[in-house]
Amino acid sequence: MYNDKKILAIIPARGGSKGIPHKNIMKINNKPLIAYSIEAAKESKFIDFILVSTDDIEIKNVSLNYGAKVPFLRPEEISNDTAKSIDVVLHAVEFLKSQGEEFHYVVLLQPTSPLRSSQDIDNAIEIVMKKEAESLVSVCEASENPVLMRVIEDNKLKSFVEFKGDNLRRQDLPRFYIFNGAIYINSVEMLFKEKTFVDEATIPFVMDSKKSIDIDNMLDSKLAELILREKSDDN
């Protein structure tokens, strides 16, 4: 809770995964992937309730073992490849409301971001509350600058992004940011009214690129594991 505002963390974890089978509970540095998000939420100073939304009994059992709540198995209609995250979140909020649990804000934590820490979560929550914002999304600096990108039209290179100036040294170019998928924070009111996580008023929470690894394939998992091992050795 933050200044009387109740905060719900939702971790969406579908059982099906085309890239890596059962990705959400695959072992990363000897721990299920989803456990990193559950533990970060548990260590938060402000999160009141941690819910894992899943359609998979094995993910449910792992999540319960690490201290999350799994009060339902997600319905099939919001568990397929075309299911939208907003529908998953609205379903979870509505379910909890039917059980007498109501919240002011939702923190969406994708289980594929194991390097996001409880401090990151709390810093983001504090920013939202102090700015009295309706929404926040975590971002990191884009690894490739779109000013340097080109499209090919009529067999000629055309600029992808308008840039006035002829100095293309990377250090002199404007910075661009990309969603890293680690943290989304929204007021419950906005979620039900707008049916979206991000609008023109959404504020950014900039994270280090090293913390922004989003596990989509085995190469991502190996890199995340290497970084987590380094952190363990440092501690």
Torsion sign (Cα): 86, 92, 93, 94: positive
- Write the pLDDT tens digit of every residue in 144-202: 888 888 889 999 988 877 776 666 666 778 889 999 999 999 999 999 999 999 999 99
Mean local confidence (pLDDT), 208-221? 92
Residues 184 and 113 sit within 8 Å (Cβ to Cβ): no
Amino acid making up residue 98 = S
Mean local confidence (pLDDT), 21-39? 95
CATH topology of domain 7-140+177-229: Spore Coat Polysaccharide Biosynthesis Protein SpsA; Chain A (3.90.550)
Residues 137 and 218 sit within 8 Å (Cβ to Cβ): no
Residues 106 and 51 sit within 8 Å (Cβ to Cβ): no
Domain ranges of the chain: 7-140+177-229
Mean local confidence (pLDDT), 18-34? 90
Tokens of residue 87, six digits: 């529908």
Largest CA distance in the chain: 62
Say which residues have a Cβ less than 8 Å from residue 14's Cβ, sequence separation at least 6: 24, 54, 55, 56, 74, 79, 83
Predicted pLDDT of residue 174: 81
**Does position 114 have pLDDT exceeding 80, yes or no?**
yes
Residues 228 and 114 sit within 8 Å (Cβ to Cβ): yes
- The model's pTM is 0.91
Predicted pLDDT of residue 234: 67
Q: In angstroms, rounded to a whole number, what is the distance separating the alpha carbons of residues 34 and 102? A: 24
Mean local confidence (pLDDT), 231-235? 70
